[in-house]
Amino acid sequence: MFERVGLSTCGYNLTNFEYYIVFETLNLEFKEPSLKVNFFATCLGAAIYSNASLNAIKLLRKENLEVVFKKDQTCCGQPSYNSGYYEETKKVVLYNIKLYSNNDYPIILPSGSCTGMMRHDYLELFEGHAEFNMVKDFCSRVYELSEFLDKKLQVKYEDKGEPLKITWHSNCHALRVAKVIDSAKNLIRQLKNVELIELEKEEECCGFGGTFSVKEPEISAVMVKEKIKDIESRQVDVIVSADAGCLMNISTAMQKMGSLTKPMHFYDFLASRLGL
């Protein structure tokens, strides 16, 4: 039922026993699925936030979906694309298209940034090329998880957690390219015991920007400090984001600054509120 065990991403071979156990056991009480979907874990979702990826799959399984996990999946190509290596990125794109060519199921990602890349930037990269229509068909299958849960499945959630105040960080790509932020907030607003307190400067970048934080570390450091000041001013318990890169950047800076606000990946947060 699953293509699983071993995830090749960004040079890391993640033959992860935890993945094996979860992907096996999630189907033990599996009934006839209402829908089949592919799950694209993303680089950081596999290497850094693997638990969030597992919880993302649990959220799909909760809706009685069969989840296909391609063991040979790799990067979406965004780092090379943003660095100007367009020909190299095209090879990654064509690899991904071939990888998912043996089915026509939706491709679900737990990342607005990677969704923006695969649904929008792939099209720009191949505009005017012979492969454009093939790329376009592939892009039409790509969904960010919160968008899929909210708009396609129209899920209804029952909050099982204690009262909590949170704020939300919007990843730039998710906000401006994939345009999926509203769906994530719609899911949060279903949680009756959760109070969402908006950031004053929510649309400002946290300073990660993928390779930007490596090329311009001084500027990135100033940007993330400003973001954390905004977070601290909200006086919340948890800062939630659905983007692993932003969350990694924010959580590292918060730790250095001695912040008491807890950073949490959105799909870890959502799964915990639903008792998964």
What the chain holds in terms of domains, given with CATH numbers, is 8-152 (1.20.1050), 164-273 (1.20.1050.140)
According to the model, what pLDDT value does residue 213 have?
66
Residue 17 has pLDDT above 50, yes or no: no
Digit-coded pLDDT (tens) for 79-97: 899 889 999 999 999 999 9
Average pLDDT of the residues of the chain: 84
H and E: helices and strands count for the chain: 15, 10
According to the model, what pLDDT value does residue 23 have?
55
According to the model, what pLDDT value does residue 32 have?
67
Q: In what order do the strands lie in the sheet with 238-241?
A: 194-196, 164-168, 238-241, 262-265
Digit-coded pLDDT (tens) for 173-221: 777 877 888 999 999 999 999 999 998 888 888 777 666 766 767 887 7
Residue 73 has pLDDT above 90, yes or no: no
Digit-coded pLDDT (tens) for 32-55: 667 899 999 888 777 777 889 889
Digit-coded pLDDT (tens) for 210-263: 667 667 678 877 888 888 888 888 899 999 998 888 888 888 888 888 888 999
- Say if CB 239 and CB 166 are below 8 A apart: yes
CA angle 145, 7, 174 (to 5 degrees): 30
How far is it, in rounded angstroms, from Cα 173 to Cα 100? 23
Instruction: Answer with the residue of higher pLDDT: 157 or 170.
Output: 157
pTM (predicted TM-score): 0.85
List all residues 6 or more positions away from 53 whose beta carbon is below 8 Å from its beta carbon.
39, 41, 42, 45, 46, 110, 267
Lowest mean pLDDT among 1-5, 139-143, 189-193, 259-263: 1-5
Cβ burial 193-223 (10 Å sphere, 16+ → b, else e) = ebeeeebeeeeebbbbbbeebeeeeeebeeb
Residue 16 has pLDDT above 60, yes or no: no
* In the chain, beta strands by DSSP E: 8-9, 12-13, 35-39, 65-68, 107-109, 142-144, 164-168, 194-196, 238-241, 262-265
According to the model, what pLDDT value does residue 11 have?
34
According to the model, what pLDDT value does residue 203 have?
80
